[in-house]
Amino acid sequence: MIKPVRFSLNGKTTTVEVDEERMLLWVLRTELGLTGTKFGCGEGFCGSCTVLVNGRPERSCQLPMKSIGGKKIVTIEGLAKNGKLHPVQAAFVEHDALQCGFCTPGMILSAYGLLLENPKPTRQQILDHMEDNLCRCGAHHRIVKAIEAAAAEMRKGVRS
């Protein structure tokens, strides 16, 4: 059924009138023009479509619009502020924690979600948390290093 859905998108109140059974991923990429959130597998196995919902990483390909009313959604486009990269983004650049870059938005939002919940994760906690985010290029090592560096940076209170 087509219904207005009102939610916060990257800090701005947004209303879309769409079939409420549709998945957030497609509404983001099509109606809202935010193509940074990627389609990878369509079944929640790969993590490329990860966004933050009320601060928690969720698979947007599995999130019907009816479930997000009133919630705060953050996509990869909403992280940098005033042209300044978020510490997690900056750490991915600094550590070359990407190759083709297709899984990167999902990786960054998953990582950010972890750091919001646990500002000082152990290496094992990082591995566990990132387990279901897939990267085919094999950038895993650098992604872990980048998350460790971002955690340290964020703890300094640069910004969270």
Partner 1 sequence: MTRFTEEIFEHLGIDLPSEVSRRKFLKMLGGGIVVTVSANDLLALQEAPARRRFGRELPDDFNAFLRIGEDGRVACFTGKIEMGQGVVTSLAQMLADELEVSLDSVDMIMGDTDLCPWDMGTFGSMTTRFFGPPLRAAAAEAREVLLELAAERLGVAADELTVRDGMVSSTADSAQKVSYAELAKGQKIARRLDREAVLESVENFTVVGHPVNRRDAVAKVTGAAQFAGDIRREGMLYARLLRPPAHGATLGTVDASGIEAVDGATMVVDGELVAVLHATPDGADRAIATIEANWKTPELDLDEDSIFEHLLNVAPAGENVDRGGDLNAGMSISTAEARHTYLDGYVAHAPIETHTAVAEFSDGRCTIWASTQTPFPLQKEAAEALGLAEDKVRVIPPFVGGGFGGKTANRQAIEAARLAKRTGRPVQVAWSRPEEFFFDTFRPAAVVKIDAGVGEDGRITYWDFTTYFAGSRGADHFYDIPNHRTVAAPGGWRGGPGTHPFATGAWRAPGNNTNTFARESHIDALAAQTKIDPVEFRMRNLADKKMRRVLETTAARFRWLEAAAPSGRGQGIALGIDAGTYVGLAAEVDVDRATGKVTVQRLVCAQDMGLAINPEGATIQMEGCLTMGLGYALAEELHFSGGEILDTNFDTYEIPRFSWLPEIETVIIDARNDPPQGGGEPAIIVVGAAIANAIHDAVGARVYRLPMTAERVKAAMKRSERR
Q: If binding is defined by CB under 8 A, does position 29 make contact with partner 1?
A: yes
Distance CA 50, CA 46 (A): 9
Q: Which of 13, 33, 156, 157 binds partner 1 (CB under 8 A)?
A: 33
Q: Which of 126, 149, 150, 154 binds partner 1 (CB under 8 A)?
A: 126
Q: How far is the CB of 89 from partner 1 (least distance, A)?
A: 4
**Residue 35: Cβ within 10 Å count:** 14
Q: How far is the CB of 156 from partner 1 (least distance, A)?
A: 20
The answer to whether residues 46 and 103 touch, using CB atoms and an 8 Å cutoff, is yes
Distance CA 102, CA 122 (A): 26
Q: If binding is defined by CB under 8 A, does position 60 make contact with partner 1?
A: no
Number of residues this chain uses to bind partner 1 (CB under 8 A): 58
Q: 44: buried, middle or exposed (CB in 10 Å: 19+, 13-18, 0-12)?
A: middle
**Residue 41: Cβ within 10 Å count:** 13
Q: Which of 66, 94, 116, 152 binds partner 1 (CB under 8 A)?
A: 94
Q: Which of 52, 108, 114, 149 binds partner 1 (CB under 8 A)?
A: 108
Q: If binding is defined by CB under 8 A, does position 49 make contact with partner 1?
A: no
Q: Is the dihedral of CA 13, 49, 32, 35 positive or negative?
A: positive
Contacts to partner 1 by CB under 8 A: 22-23, 26, 29-31, 33-43, 45-46, 48, 75-77, 79-80, 85, 89, 92-94, 96, 98-105, 108, 126-128, 130-144
